[in-house]
Amino acid sequence: MKIKSLLLLLSFLFYLTNASGQTVRHTYRFYKDFAVAKPECGPDLIPSKALGICPIGASPGSFEQDVLPCGVRRDVYHNKLNWGFMYPNSEGAITDTYTIQMYIKVTDWGETWARIIDFSNGALDQGIYFKDNNGSTDRCLDFYPYGRAGACPFFNTSTYYLLTFTRNGQTGIMNVYVDNVLFATYNDSEGRYVGKAGTPIYIFRDDSSVACESGEANFAYLSFTNQYYGQKEVEKAFSEVCFVANINSYADFSISPNPSCGFPKDIDIKYTGSIPLPGTGYKFEWVFDGGKIVSGSGVGPYVVNWDTGGTKNVTLTVTGIGCDNPLTNRKQATISNLNLATAVESGSCETGKDGTLTLTATDGLPPYQYSIDSVNYQTDNIFKVPAASYKVYVKDGNNCTVGKPVNVVFNSDIVVNTIADTTICEGQTVGLNATGNAQNFLWSPQAGLNDATVKDPAATPEASTQYIVTAVRGFCSQSDTVNIDVAPKIEVMVTPDAVVEANVPYQLAASSPQVPDMRDAMFIWSPAIGLNNPASPSPIATLQSDQSYTVEITSGMGCKGTGNVNLSVKRHESINVPSAFTPDGDGKNDILVPLINEIVSISYFKIFNRWGQVVFFTDQLNSGWDGWFQNKNPITGIYVWEIEGKSQKGTTIRKKGSVALIK
């Protein structure tokens, strides 16, 4: 009933949606998947095998490289014979007014007929087919059962065609376009080629009426919409087919001017994607990489400026309202295209002679000015400077400025090396051993080091750190770096404490957000009591009594973490008596004692021999019979017992049974 109500609700919502004239469009580009193009809210395509008994391979198809007519080499989807697609049509894109477009190259026509579209959910043989013509290698278009339409034969196996099937629900006329040419017109006044919301539409999959009428094709593009296309829309689709089939333009936008020289300057950013303005049904989220929004909101347009030059990432994320299928597009805005090249002539360690800096501007607007302090500029591009680290600048005729760091050093034979980049676990220590011919060493930063002035300090950083060791000899110095990455502490998430049934398998599980792939980690559960596999991340525990477990997770880098779980066994009120005991004095199973759970008292526990004599009686908990009767040794045989007890809940439990005395 719930499912039926849900279907009625969905149908009602669909009616309201289409009654309001909202466009439904679902696009597929077959880039390694069958998912609807982002940010559209729609179903995925589902590979579907032909009905009936047909020769079918194990795989429905494969993604293969092909070159489209516009020269683009890309992955397309190649369906195998007797395999096609199921489009769920859950939103009712295909009803009486619709357009289906596919950009395909047929590679195998099959036998005689090859189903293109099936509107009948596999129930009827009527549909749109490719049909042979007296054994020709090319094919015709056939509206079965009404016959061929358009030029015949026409279609070959070496050409990509943009096929457009568009139906006008008001007139019942279906037009078929091949590329941008009206190929055939069919009067579908009887409504044979219409869809229904919730009834799947099948592409290249045959029905069960006359089975195995299938072909193979390379699919580069497929779309479904509830809109009718005229010649103008088809012309536009064909003129842009290379772009539309390969590029998802839903999140496209323009940046002008780009590049922009100087900052801050206003930059115009405008949405140019394929969603009609004002973008109803979609959410537009912009990120301007630190830029200041001067004006604009929602879909835009925007005016933005930046306080610094360089390359800025402008990001647009478009999300269809009603689903989480976002499409993100990122473009770069170049605020300045000015560049700066530097040439350095080293100074002398022995004499202290200055070094020479030569700065050369490129890609800017002359005249150029140069500076080594960003304050004092000169037209001369050569500077005599002592050994040091500098940031040098060039400014062009557009007042664009570019700065670059540069080191002026002495010629030196100092050699210094330290260890390779290393990863440690949080809290671990690593030795930073330096080798070289210097007199003194200095490490920075000092955080995490036991001594920053020795050659081989011990490092225990709290976070990932790049350490720089500077070796000094005389007037000269040389540096080397090492990155110490600190792997985060292994946090262990384990099954919560629980009350479990006795002797009933209970699933345990442990994981860590620091170990996304559990195959890279080692798990040890302890103790191993009751576990089927203590080395598994998810063992099964079968217990008779309460048990606490500790699990230790060791990551692939050797970092460890532990977690704990406590399992309490639920006890049900019960009285049971063993079926046999062996009072032979070996200390094992010598006494027949009732097995009780949640029992507070015993009214009686009586045992009878085969003559009805009471050979044992007790009203005490945990008291039992040792097999002796009237001071005589136990006699092998079958004995009858009766017992009555009271549970913690006040329930009286009575039981009878027999027990075998075995010597």
How would you classify the pairing of strands 476-487 and 422-425? parallel
Find the DSSP H helices in 508-612.
Answer: none
CATH number at residue 389: 2.60.40.1080
Q: Which of 246, 277, 299 is the last residue of a domain?
A: 246
CATH number at residue 183: 2.60.120.200
| Length of the chain, in residues | 663
Residues 555 and 604 in one domain: no
pTM beyond cutoff 0.85:
no
Q: What is the pLDDT of residue 9?
A: 38
In-domain check, residue 15: no
Residues 553 and 582 in one domain: no
Residues 125 and 150 in one domain: yes
Alpha-carbon distance 20 to 14, whole Å? 10
Least confident of 256-270, 369-383, 649-663: 256-270
Residues 444 and 367 in one domain: no
Q: Which of 465, 487, 509 is the last residue of a domain?
A: 487
Alpha-carbon distance 404 to 340, whole Å? 7
Residues 380 and 404 in one domain: yes
Higher pLDDT, 648 or 620: 620
Q: What is the pLDDT of residue 502?
A: 81
**Dihedral sign from CA coordinates of 29, 33, 38, 43:** positive
Instruction: State the pLDDT confidence band at 351, using cuts at 50, 70 and 90.
Output: low
How would you classify the pairing of strands 560-570 and 574-576? unpaired
- Closest by CA to 472, choosing from 516, 428, 414, is 414
How confident is the prediction for the chain on average, in pLDDT? 89
Residues 50 and 185 in one domain: yes
Helix (H) or strand (E) holding 421, with range, is none
DSSP state letter for 257 = S
Number of domains in the chain: 6
In-domain check, residue 113: yes
Q: Quickly count: other Cβ atoms within 10 Å of residue 416's Cβ.
A: 20
Q: Which of 246, 262, 293 is the last residue of a domain?
A: 246
Residues 506 and 564 in one domain: yes
In-domain check, residue 18: no
Per the structure, the complete domain to which residue 299 belongs is given by 249-334
Residues 370 and 225 in one domain: no
pLDDT mean over 195-209 = 91
Q: What is the pLDDT of residue 18?
A: 43
Assign 2 to helix, strand or coil. Answer: helix
CATH number at residue 324: 2.60.40
Alpha-carbon distance 52 to 113, whole Å? 15
Strands (E), 376-508: 382-385, 388-395, 401-408, 410-411, 416-418, 422-425, 430-431, 434-436, 440-444, 458-459, 465-473, 476-487, 493-494, 498-501, 506-507
Only one residue has tokens 């969603």, namely: 275
Q: How do residues 452-485 score in pLDDT, each as one tens digit?
A: 899 899 999 989 999 999 988 766 778 899 999 9
Biggest alpha carbon distance in the chain?
128
- Residues 6 or more apart in contact with residue 554 via CB below 8 angstroms: 490, 521, 522, 523, 524, 560
Torsion of CA 433, 461, 463, 442, to 10 degrees: -60
Residues 371 and 432 in one domain: no
Q: How do residues 570-614 score in pLDDT, each as one tens digit?
A: 877 889 999 999 999 898 999 999 988 888 999 999 999 999 999
CATH number at residue 424: 2.60.40.10
Residues 398 and 523 in one domain: no
In-domain check, residue 11: no
Residues 53 and 150 in one domain: yes
- Closest by CA to 391, choosing from 379, 370, 408, 373, is 373
Residues 546 and 429 in one domain: no
